[in-house]
Amino acid sequence: MAKIVFIGAGSLGFTRGLVRDLLTFPLLRDAHIALVDINKERLSFAKRACEKIVAMGRYPAKVTATTDRREALKGADAVLVTILCGNTRIWQHDILIPKKYGIDINVGDTRGPSGIFRALRTIPTMLEICKDMEELCPGAIMLNYTNPMAMLCHAMQRKSFIQLSGLCHSVQGTAAMLAGWAGVKYESVDYVCAGINHMAWFLEFKHKGRDLYPRIHKAITTDKKVYNHEQVRNEMFLALGYYVTESSGHNSEYNWWFRKRPDLVKQYCTSGTGWNPGHHAYILDEYRGKEGSWKGEVRKWLAEDAPMPLERGHEYAASIINARMGGELFSFNGNVPNTGLITNLPPGCCVEVPVLASRQGFQPMHVGDLPPSCAMLTGLSAQIEMMAVEGCLTGDAFRVYQAIAHDPLTAAKLSLAEIRKMTGEMFHQNAAYLPQFKKINL
């Protein structure tokens, strides 16, 4: 019986989908699903939801729930993490303070000043989880879904021996979108995708050995519906020659090109038919909207008597855990240390590359150089992430300021003096969540 622990199980969307996926594998159908959350009400709903899936599938699985993380981790084989450190009020300030200085943020959970402060709050908790795993389940793997993915994984990979990888659905999601634009089935596409989280690039995208980029280029340049669906990413593709993972909303924040002037926001970030990058604080507003409705939605879902589809979804986690437990090998894009895997990105940074999961754990693939047009922005972002993590691990607030000063969008909008002032204000607002910073001297 495999023991699989969910830390942050109150993230019900993830928990339900991943438990459904796990139990579809013969090796995992009798798994012990151990749920952990600090919110007792959400934890109770998560347990009931998982028990419903078990009952519907008539699985011999076991579901337990506890607020005691250490109790759940004893003897675990795999640990999945979906947590939020800090409440929506502090997250709001992460976005509103930069806005006051002229930095208009769409998401703010991965990079830039708001993403960095989210990392500063979250890294200590992630390291505590690793420490508990080293003691209680040292052979277990960790699969992290929490953002900011690259900074969290980099910190843990620096400080812990636990085998871990970060997972993001943007790779397979973008691959499916591109396959549709090229007029082929997603299942028949072969690709190589590498870079860093949310800024990985499809270096190859082929169907039966044939390069699909010419078809994709034609679709983007001749079909307004295709172009308008992802205006930011399509412009990046036309300029850089390779398609980037993750949405236009996220990527509009990671560079200098789309959010530094109101006219550019209007041109590239407001009329797209996909995710609308022009929506200020999109993810925060979506999260707050669900805060008041999630109970009713879950109660309705639990009360439904109709048969529930139990087919496996497209997240990687279940297939990775199945491979780890001795099932078929599984290839996925994961976040791992750069041990020479991408030769023109900083050694030791957290990269997102093809990884093979097996009984032995994770075997990442050597990629070589990223194309120069992609490596410049990607390398800068990776170095910023490393600098921010170093500041967090050492309690060096000035190092954090230096990381924010190099952020492309921040630097396109503000002077160094303005960045220093903004960073100090964000430290003041976050002081209660950042005990590792004994002295804020900027």
**Is 92 within a domain?**
yes
Mean pLDDT (the chain, rounded)? 94
Q: Which two tokens stand for residue 382?
A: 């990776």
Residue 194 lies in a domain: no
Q: Is residue 59 in some structural domain? A: yes
Q: Is 190 strand, coil or helix? A: strand
CATH of the domain at 66: 3.40.50.720
Domain assignment present for 268: no
Q: Model-level pTM?
A: 0.95
Q: What integer is the mean pLDDT of 331-344? A: 98
Q: pLDDT, tens digit, for every residue of 254-271?
A: 999 999 999 999 999 988
For the stretch 92-131, pLDDT in tens is 889 999 999 999 988 889 999 999 999 999 999 999 999 9
Does a structural domain hold residue 25?
yes
Half-sphere exposure of 144 (CA within 13 A, CB side): 31
How sure is the predictor about 395, in pLDDT bands with cuts at 50, 70 and 90?
very high
Is the per-residue pLDDT at 442 higher than 90? no
CB atoms within 10 A of CB 91: 23
Pick 302 or 106 by higher pLDDT.
106
* Assigned domain for 296 exists: no
Alpha-carbon dihedral sign for residues 47, 49, 54, 58: positive
Specify the DSSP element, H or E, that contains 24: none
**Which pLDDT does position 171 carry in this prediction?**
95
What Cα–Cα distance (Å) separates residue 246 from each residue in 120, 252, 441? 23, 10, 35
pLDDT tens string 154-200? 999 999 999 999 999 899 999 999 999 999 999 999 999 999 999 99
Check if the beta carbon of residue 37 is closer than 8 Å to that of residue 46.
Answer: yes
Q: State the catalytic residue, choosing from 32, 93, 154, 169.
A: 169
Give CA–CA dist 283/67, Å, rounded: 27
Give the mean model confidence (pLDDT) for residues 415-427: 97
Of 398, 410, 333, which is closest to residue 175 (Cα–Cα)? 333
- Three-state DSSP state, 81: strand
Could you give the CA distance from residue 36 to residue 67 in angstroms, rounded to a whole number? 5
Assess contact for 325 and 28: CB atoms under 8 A: yes
Note the pLDDT of residue 365.
97
Q: CA 151, 152, 154: angle at the middle one, nearest 5? A: 65
Among 378, 373, 389, smallest CA distance to 345 is for: 378
Give the pLDDT of residue 270: 87
In terms of DSSP bridges, do strands 199-207 and 163-166 run parallel, antiparallel, or are they unpaired? unpaired
Euclidean distance between CA atoms 277 and 249, whole angstroms: 4
For the purposes of burial, counting CB atoms within 10 Å of the CB of 64, is it exposed (0-12), middle (13-18) or buried (19 or more)?
middle
50, pLDDT greater than 80: yes
- Catalytic (active site) residue 207: no
Measure the CA angle with vertex 353, ends 22 and 111; round to 5°: 95
> 416-430 and 112-136 helices cross at what angle (nearest 10)?
50
Instruction: For residue 291, name the pLDDT band (cuts at 50, 70, 90).
Output: low
Across residues 406-426, what is the average pLDDT? 98
Helix (H, G, I), strand (E, B) or coil at 204: strand
Least confident of 38-47, 239-248, 297-306: 297-306
Look at residue 304 and tell me if it is in a domain: no
Beta bridge partners of 63: 33
Q: Would you say residue 290 has pLDDT above 70?
A: no
Residue 144 lies in domain: 3-169
CB 354 within 8 A of CB 192: yes
**Alpha-helical runs (H) found in 255-371:** 262-269, 282-291, 294-303, 317-324
Domains in the chain, number: 1
pLDDT score of 241:
98
Q: Do the domain assignments include residue 251?
A: no
